[in-house]
Each structure stands twice: as C-alpha cells, then as structure tokens.
Amino acid sequence: MGAFLCRAGQHLRAAAIPSPRMEARLLLGHAMGTDLSALLRDPRAAVPPEAAQTFAALLQRRLDGAPMAYLTGRQGFWTLDLRTTPDTLIPRADTETLVEAALDAFPDRAAVGHVLDLGTGTGALLLAALSEFPRAFGVGVDRAPGAAALARRNAGEHGLEHRAAFLAGDWATALAGRFDLVLSNPPYIESAAIDGLMPEVSRHEPRLALDGGTDGLDAYRALAAALPGLLAPGGRAVLELGQGQEGAVSGLMQAAGLECRGCRPDLNGVPRALVLA
C-alpha cells in the first residue's frame, strides 16, 4: 500500500494538487471500499488487483482535474455526509454561512414549520436546516431532475425522507403556499467569467448551477419576484451572494418590497448570506 500512496502522491504533487498525500489516501480508501482510519491502522495491507485498477483510473481522473467529491461521490456539509454527482454543485463550507444565518434568525428552533430551498442541488441547505429545526417540513426545488433525485436520496440516507419533498421545476413557479424560511444558493457567476474559474469548477460542475447571466443577477431577479409571495408572516429568506454582490442584490430585493435584515460574512470575511424579511 505504501508504494501506491507514494507514487500517487508524487503524481498529485507534480500536478499542483493541494494535500497530495491525503488525496491519495482518500482515493485508495474509496477504491478499496474502506475508510481513511482503516488505511492508517494497517498501512502495509495489500491492495487487491481490482482495487489497484480502480485506484489507477480514479487517480488519472483526479490528475485530469475531476473534483474529489465527484470521484468519491461524497462531500461533508454542516453535520451531514452527502452523496454528490456531476448533476449538482459540490457543497462548500462558504454555504454553511446560510445555515448559521438562519439559526440566528430563529433562536426558537420550534418556530420554523415550513422550509423552502430553491436550487436545492444535493439538498445540502434544506437537509441541514431540517436537522436543526426539528418540527419543520421542507421542500427542495431544482431545475435539474437529476439533482432533485439526488437530494431525495440524501434525505433518505439521513432519515429525513418523511420531512422533505423534492421537485424538479423552474424556481418557485410550481409552488403555492408560504414558508417560514426560504433558502437559496442560486447561480451567480457572470456568464463570461465561468470559463476563467478553476478548471475543477468550469470543466466539471454543472453550468446550469453556475451561470447567473450577463451580470450574474438573473436568478436574483427571479427570486425578487417570487419571494414576497412565498414568505409567511414573520418569515425570513436567506440568500447566498457572490463576492461583491451585496449592494446590487440588496437593491433588487428592496425594490421588490423586501427588507434587508443584514448580511453575514463567511469565514474569509466575504458578505455571503443576505437575510431578508
């Protein structure tokens, strides 16, 4: 096993991939159907031929720029371990800021009865919210049917399938009803900027979930039109922002009659979670 990890780490390091040794271990563990702790407990274990072949294929895909979360099919978010596929964006730590903002907005966890997640992807935001608001029922909507199906599967794996429903649709056009909490991490990258993103993102993550139109604000315009009819009395919406978008998005929301209740920064100090009422 040590020789596999050493050679793989050298290839990953030469490709300027961060944490090459750790990534090599994760890929080998996935190929062998075991976890990292098992590899560390028995570093001299033999690698079966089929696992070696799978590992070589995974390593080549990683060297070609495929994201680790797509290769292993898993990504951590909040307290959850979620399945990931190329149908969805990979959940990121920055997006956890929205969960923190929602918890701040509702100190009484029992006060939230209905949650909506627009652009649900893996279901990360909705499932994290349901794990924190014990009386809530949630609806997740995504334009990609594969994403809605994946979110449904993630809900089942975390025992939340009876507290969540997932739909394939265009934003909120198929919804009737009001929600105490609306969450959304919408597409917000300017169309012309997508090809300049890191190759892991631009070449592998779904463009539908990235492309915010010419100015990056198309999805926010749709949200501004929909949110006044979706929020229950006393309800809150929490939207993820791209860097530098706070002023423009706040203006769109205020023009739609919504009140901005603050913007929570992520761990890098970037205004990330816009809270609306």
Count CB atoms within 10 A of the CB of residue 237.
26
The class of domain 75-276 in CATH terms is alpha beta
| Percent residues over pLDDT 70 in the chain | 95
- Calculate the CA 187 to chain-centre distance: 12
Residue ranges per structural domain of the chain: 2-64, 75-276
Query: Residues 171-184: what's their mean pLDDT?
Result: 87
Give pLDDT tens digits for 53-96: 888 898 899 988 899 999 999 999 999 999 999 999 999 999 99
Residue found by looking up tokens 């809270």 in the block: 275
Return the amino acid letter for 24. Answer: A
> What is the pLDDT at residue 101?
98
> What is the pLDDT at residue 6?
80
